[in-house]
């Protein structure tokens, strides 16, 4: 029922609303449309553009997809995104999220994505947060259903280490809070 990804990559898009005038690139598989001329796809590629704000993401998804609430795969890699916007947390069917090659610099913002019940794959490498020594543990701890991170499988041992890391940091935070 669902067709190929709606591909709006390499379109020089700065604002998501600008994407509405673009025609998606055609790939190997043809794009299927419904009677309202919306695409029957669960995947949207907005990578390799100049997007810095995700404020129009819901409208953009609704503009292109026949079933916007079914969006499962979103590629926002290689843009100018600096924050993990709350709008991503509204994509409840999201399974795959590519955010690599952006400018995200606050590691704790990854925690927001923990509300996504089906998110199993994420990429965040190539962002400033990657330089944090707790990067992988923090992400795996915040997103316990992850199967892959940065194109690498999440192992059972990494889950154990992330859990230990999480508990030791919770303990550290609680003792610090009681000292104040």
The pLDDT tens digits along the chain (180 residues) read 578 999 999 999 999 999 999 999 988 888 999 999 999 999 999 999 999 999 999 999 999 999 999 999 999 999 999 999 999 999 999 999 999 999 999 999 999 999 999 999 999 999 999 999 999 999 999 999 999 999 999 999 999 999 998 888 874 544 333 333
Contact 114, 94 (CB under 8 A): no
Buried residues in 120-150 as b, exposed as e (16+ CB within 10 A): bbbbbbbbebeebeebbbbbbbbbeebeebb
So what's the pLDDT on residue 58? 97
Cα separation, 131 vs 153, in Å, equals 20
pLDDT reported for residue 1:
59
CATH 3.80.10.10 fits 6-179, yes or no: yes
97 token code pair: 């999220």
* C-alpha dist (Å) from residue 55 to 8, 73, 81, 87, 89: 17, 18, 11, 7, 12
pTM above 0.85, yes or no: yes
pLDDT at 174: 43
The per-residue pLDDT for 62 is 97
| Separation between Cα atoms, residue 38 and residue 67, nearest integer Å | 9
The torsion angles phi and psi of 70, rounded to 5 degrees, stand at: -95, 10
Cα Dmax for the chain: 63
CA dist., res. 41 & res. 65, Å (int): 6
Domain-wise residue ranges, the chain = 6-179
């Amino acid at each position: 029922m669902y067709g190929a990804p709606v591909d709006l990559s390499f379109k020089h898009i700065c604002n998501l609303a600008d994407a509405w005038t673009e025609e998606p690139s055609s790939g190997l598989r043809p794009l299927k449309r419904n009677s309202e001329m919306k695409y029957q796809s669960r995947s949207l590629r907005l990578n390799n553009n100049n997007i810095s704000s995700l404020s129009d993401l819901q409208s953009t998804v609704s503009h292109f997809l026949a079933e916007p609430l079914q969006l499962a795969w979103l590629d926002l890699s290689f843009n100018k995104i600096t924050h993990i916007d709350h709008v991503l947390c509204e994509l409840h069917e999201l399974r795959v999220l590519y955010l690599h090659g952006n400018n995200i610099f606050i590691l704790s913002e990854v925690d927001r994505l923990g509300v996504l019940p089906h998110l199993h794959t994420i990429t965040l490498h190539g962002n400033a947060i990657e330089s944090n020594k707790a990067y992988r543990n923090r992400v795996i701890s915040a997103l316990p259903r992850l199967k892959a991170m940065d194109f690498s499988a999440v192992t059972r041992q990494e889950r154990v280490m992330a859990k230990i890391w999480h508990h030791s940091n919770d303990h550290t935070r609680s003792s610090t809070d009681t000292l104040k």
